[in-house]
């Protein structure tokens, strides 16, 4: 599936009817999701691999991985409503995905090759993004993760990668747009930069 086709397919998936600001429940924009998934596909991290989408929300990344030929896909989120919509979205496109309701900090599983995630940026709850990143690196040998592109975040993630002895193989700056959806939003669209990271653990499995 070409990148543009994937972006259009993901864009059509249903959104959360009542997103929570505290859980930072905004969907990954279709173009950003397609860029992450295509990069992962090109690196051999999707096809015939077991993929986990942490904080899967309504399922964009998980469903995209299934459409690109993943062997098995697991989507994890704390919110049952998001998971219900994700399951409906997956059924509509014929994607076979296991949906699990769990706090990311407690999620355990073996045999995952690649984690793909758009974690909360930690704007509402400080450190939420790093909680996701630490869990992702425990679960899989390769992690694709989106983070707000700020000098502070870049320095922090680079420092943590050193401490954890993992390698940032790629960092790609992308535009990220979210529509007005929370009470405190005063503009129609919010535009900012995010960094897409690919991180590898030294003992990368499979
Ligand atoms: C920025 S949204 C990303 C949604 C989805 N991945 C997408 O691409 O559209 C972050 C997601 O993380 C979930 N989340 C936040 N805190 C969580 C936690 N502690 N455990 C599991 N999921 C969590 C939210 O419910 C939300 O769906």
What is the residue-wise DSSP string for 139-151? H-SEEEEEEE--H
CATH number at residue 69: 3.40.50.150
User: What is the reported pTM?
Assistant: 0.95
Ligand 1 center to residue 103 CA distance, Å?
10
Strands 72-77 and 50-54: parallel
Task: Choose one of 120, 177, 196 to mutate for the ligand 1 pocket test, by most ligand atoms within 8 angstroms of C-beta.
Answer: 120
pLDDT in tens, 80-138: 999 999 999 999 999 999 999 999 999 999 999 999 999 998 777 788 899 999 999 99
What is the extent of the structural domain holding 168? 3-14+31-201
In a domain, 24, yes or no: no
The average confidence (pLDDT) of the chain is: 94
Contact 141, 199 (CB under 8 A): no
Ligand 1 center to residue 55 CA distance, Å?
3
In a domain, 20, yes or no: no
pLDDT in tens, 142-185: 999 999 999 999 999 999 999 999 999 999 999 999 877 777 77
In a domain, 169, yes or no: yes
């Amino acid at each position: 599936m070409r990148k543009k086709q994937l972006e259009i397919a993901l864009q059509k998936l249903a959104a959360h009817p009542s997103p929570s600001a505290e859980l930072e429940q905004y969907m990954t924009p279709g173009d950003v999701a397609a860029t992450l998934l295509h990069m992962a596909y090109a690196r051999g991290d999707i096809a015939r691999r077991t993929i986990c989408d942490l904080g899967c929300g309504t399922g964009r990344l998980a469903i995209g991985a299934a459409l690109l030929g993943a062997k098995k896909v697991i989507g994890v989120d704390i919110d049952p409503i998001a998971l219900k919509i994700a399951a409906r979205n997956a059924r509509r496109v014929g994607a076979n995905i296991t949906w699990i309701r769990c706090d990311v900090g407690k999620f355990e599983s073996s045999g995952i090759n690649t984690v793909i995630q758009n974690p909360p940026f930690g704007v509402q709850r400080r450190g939420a993004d790093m909680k996701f990143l630490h869990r992702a690196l425990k679960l899989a040998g390769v992690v694709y993760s989106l983070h707000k592109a700020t000098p502070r975040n870049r320095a922090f993630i680079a420092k943590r990668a050193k401490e954890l002895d993992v390698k940032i193989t790629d960092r790609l700056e992308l535009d990220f747009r979210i529509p007005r959806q929370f009470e405190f939003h005063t503009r129609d669209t919010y535009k900012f930069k995010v960094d897409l990271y690919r991180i590898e653990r030294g003992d990368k499995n499979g």
